[in-house]
A and B are shown apart, each in its own frame.
Chain A
């Protein structure tokens, strides 16, 4: 195994020189100022790819390093100015968060892609815009071929004959072996980083690499253990991103799921190998997602949970039975839906057939505040929404929901204006991505850039709607206290919220005592269902700039904290400016009946209307994953959740940090159960000495 050696070698690596991307790009951009923008851009990419220093580790098994991003050479004059004048797309305007069609790319190899480009060049010889794009694309492929040869030369200097030969082969041939295929994929990924693209997913690695793996194993050229080491040695280099750029990449890898052609179980030996290799690496960066279908073996789920339990926190589990029908709503071919993968954290993506992904955060609970206050921000007193009526006007729950709907629609309009606004600065023909387009079906054939109609499908955008539990709990409190029990008027409730409950502690406790999402109580859960229906309806009225769909997501990353900062107190009893509920999960500490009840609640909304995906976070003590019997119980929990229509679940071990935090903030963690001998206990109710004892037991080897 050489992963260990590679890890140790990499740990002593240090940055040499200054960040030099702009310098290399500018030099290329300046070669010929007379030619069209896309050709200048291709010269920039060529110079960037070919011009950087090629770093090879002595323990490399798959070549490619981002160390060449830094250079000790004199920077090109005015580099930053030249690069900024050329400009480029960003996340939000179709730059990154993309999964290439590696299956096709591997089948063709660089020469195959170049041959396709040449035949398109002939086809479109009278259309200079297309031929310029195609020439630019060709130039980037030539650059990639040179890069592979340069790495081969460097490797040879270090005596890495096998690795050098592998690189040199794929420079001019389609790959035939497992190593060659992975080499070509990994080099593509590395070059995307040089282009400053982020979250470039590997997609369904266990599927597109499988034919190469199988052939090598059958011929005796490869063993299972060796394959694991090769994969690990490639993926461990994602650590360079953290090491040299100072932040983690989020390169999603999807394993498992179903086969595109017939929907049968797609888990294979390589799925397990990738799982193990990612675990061997034990770094953030390769963001592993496990697709689970109704045909997926319990054994595979269990293997995933073992890895989760090491403290790694992934793979996240994705339910094919929710995601595939969700994507089917948008008219993609069934095979393509079945072949979906994820980009970034959880965003569903049709690999290699649509432009890069974009999403934004939609602060849903703010519109609840506006519906209660006639469109006026409770925190600033400024009008920011339409006049939908003062609270005394709503005689029924339905009348209030109608006002909320109007505020939501207005908010969605503003949101989409903002999203589309980013494109107004971009002239598409001057912002082409010739290299990336080579990894997307349709672009070469049509002679069109990935963002200009080249891709098979148009772009998709995801509006991440935050605070599902904050909204559900708030609406339940309004229905119960105002319209059913009539213990306070909506007007009075609004005054209480504006006062942030000061002087109204008793009323707040009434609100806190109302049914909460996450306890399998239909009274409140119906509003979580409403939440998804409402947002699906509202955003389905919009299209992306190229006519693609706008999906919704029930996710928030950690923005639920920022989102909460700009929201006044809410009828669920939440204090002003405190965080709103996380992603698709119940409000912290409010799912008091344990994970089964929580998951029964969580499976009620129709997630096939949340095509981006959802995030459900659950935390368990490490012992749950270590004990075979207990881990199987977690597997059953996931299976039932998915059978009931759940979309995603990610389990975490409870870290010591969280246990410390729980000691100091018991309200936030009142539903956190820890298993102690003979009985389960709410952690926050244990004596501090016992809490400390459990903390000590949770000391867990991690990264």
Chain B
């Protein structure tokens, strides 16, 4: 089976225990304004242009049949995105890595090959594979197939999800994956819709189901200035979690380090002017999670 993948990250250290390979699925049903992986939102492939790496050598212009790349009379590289047909020729010749096509349709066996290369590192470090994104469960059959193949190869799987899928999807993947990172972004249905375009109910339902099934569930809360960055709001988040039975909470401080990725995609990052939060700033929030095992991480 084939799936749409943004990229595969080896030696991934922040997406679960040990040394991991993270498979970033391409496509997400949510559109969180602060998203720090904007290249994984759209399902279709996209051209990324990293202007700071470009030396305006013109190699891209010489191979582009669509006229999307131009070197202006002043010797500067100019990109006309509307002309781009995403053929990828420019990216394959750019010697400086300034151009890339993000998004590939890959067969699960191809992905397994990359995953399998690092199997000794997973075994030694207690690591494994993380399916992330984007939203891995937006391609449920593909995610289940990858999880199954990993499980058959003796590799542990962690699912990093916003849990918008129906619980049937979780039931399918649960037999192959024991660990779950579930995002919780807001405390009320209204806020959730406003902040992400999605719905809170499936999130809490799915968390409850996973906990009941005895899975290891870590709730990941992105702390976003202007949205949920207050002790009071975090108390509401904790109240939402109590009935689910989830115990482990990670608070993730907002950062704007992804701004360049927006520029590379030809978009503007709405949060580029908002300062990143430091871990220390989140310490007071921890008191909202009494009775939970809560930490600040990144």
B258 proximal to A (CB < 8 A): yes
Closest to B117 in A: A520
Q: Is the CB of B124 within 8 A of A640?
A: yes
Q: Is the CB of A677 within 8 A of B19?
A: no
Contacts of A520 in B (CB 8 A): 117
Query: 7 smallest A-B Cβ distances: which pairs?
Result: A636-B125, A677-B298, A594-B11, A677-B255, A636-B124, A676-B257, A687-B260
CA distance A505 to B57 in the complex (A): 9
Total A-B Cβ pairs within 8 A = 115
- List chain A positions with a Cβ less than 8 A from chain B: 505-506, 508-509, 512-513, 520, 573, 593-597, 600, 624, 629-630, 632-633, 636-637, 639-640, 643-644, 666-667, 670, 673, 675-682, 684-688, 690, 693
A215 to chain B, nearest CB (A): 38
- Contact partner of A680 (CB less than 8 A), chosen from B9, B117, B124, B253, is B9
Given contacts A679-B37, A685-B50, contact A640 B92 (CB under 8 A): no
Q: Is the CB of B117 within 8 A of A633?
A: no
Q: Is the CB of A670 within 8 A of B97?
A: yes
CA distance A675 to B121 in the complex (A): 19
Contacts of A637 in B (CB 8 A): 11, 19, 121, 125
Given contacts A637-B121, A686-B260, A687-B260, contact A680 B12 (CB under 8 A): yes
B252 proximal to A (CB < 8 A): yes
B93 proximal to A (CB < 8 A): yes
Given contacts A633-B19, A678-B298, contact A640 B121 (CB under 8 A): yes
Contacts of A639 in B (CB 8 A): 124
Contacts of B252 in A (CB 8 A): 677-678
B104 proximal to A (CB < 8 A): no
Contacts of B36 in A (CB 8 A): 677-679
B270 proximal to A (CB < 8 A): no
B245 proximal to A (CB < 8 A): no
CA distance A680 to B13 in the complex (A): 9
Given contacts A505-B57, A675-B14, A677-B257, 7 further A-B pairs with CB under 8 A are A506-B62, A594-B11, A667-B95, A676-B255, A677-B298, A679-B258, A680-B12
Contacts of A667 in B (CB 8 A): 95-96
Q: Is the CB of A596 within 8 A of B19?
A: yes
B57 to chain A, nearest CB (A): 7
16 A-B residue pairs with Cβ-Cβ distance under 8 Å, sorted by A, are A629-B17, A633-B13, A637-B11, A640-B124, A666-B52, A670-B97, A676-B257, A677-B36, A677-B276, A677-B298, A678-B36, A680-B13, A685-B53, A685-B97, A686-B257, A693-B276
Contacts of A673 in B (CB 8 A): 11
A-facing residues in B43-73 (Cβ within 8 Å) = 50, 52-53, 57, 59, 62
Contacts of A666 in B (CB 8 A): 52-53, 96
Contacts of B276 in A (CB 8 A): 677, 693
- List chain B positions with a Cβ less than 8 A from chain A: 9-14, 17-19, 36-37, 50, 52-53, 57, 59, 62, 92-97, 117-118, 120-121, 124-125, 127, 252-253, 255-260, 263-264, 276, 298
- Contact partner of B117 (CB less than 8 A), chosen from A600, A630, A676, is A600
Q: Is the CB of B125 within 8 A of A633?
A: yes
CA distance A437 to B167 in the complex (A): 78
Closest to A512 in B: B95
Q: Is the CB of A684 within 8 A of B257?
A: no
Closest to B298 in A: A677
CA distance A639 to B260 in the complex (A): 36
- Contact partner of B11 (CB less than 8 A), chosen from A513, A595, A685, is A595
Closest to B37 in A: A679
Closest to B256 in A: A690
A620 to chain B, nearest CB (A): 10
Q: Is the CB of B18 within 8 A of A633?
A: yes
CA distance A306 to B255 in the complex (A): 28
Given contacts A633-B19, A636-B121, contact A508 B95 (CB under 8 A): yes
Q: Is the CB of A509 within 8 A of B298?
A: no
Contacts of B9 in A (CB 8 A): 594, 680
Contacts of B124 in A (CB 8 A): 636, 639-640, 643
Q: Is the CB of A690 within 8 A of B260?
A: yes
CA distance A599 to B37 in the complex (A): 28
CA distance A596 to B119 in the complex (A): 10
CA distance A601 to B131 in the complex (A): 25
CA distance A676 to B277 in the complex (A): 12
Closest to A592 in B: B97
Contacts of B257 in A (CB 8 A): 676-677, 681, 686, 690, 693
CA distance A267 to B101 in the complex (A): 50
A572 to chain B, nearest CB (A): 12
Q: Is the CB of B93 within 8 A of A685?
A: no
A569 to chain B, nearest CB (A): 14
Closest to B57 in A: A505
CA distance A369 to B69 in the complex (A): 36
Contacts of A573 in B (CB 8 A): 95
Closest to B279 in A: A677
Given contacts A509-B93, A509-B95, A677-B253, contact A597 B298 (CB under 8 A): no
CA distance A675 to B256 in the complex (A): 14
Q: Is the CB of A596 within 8 A of B14?
A: no
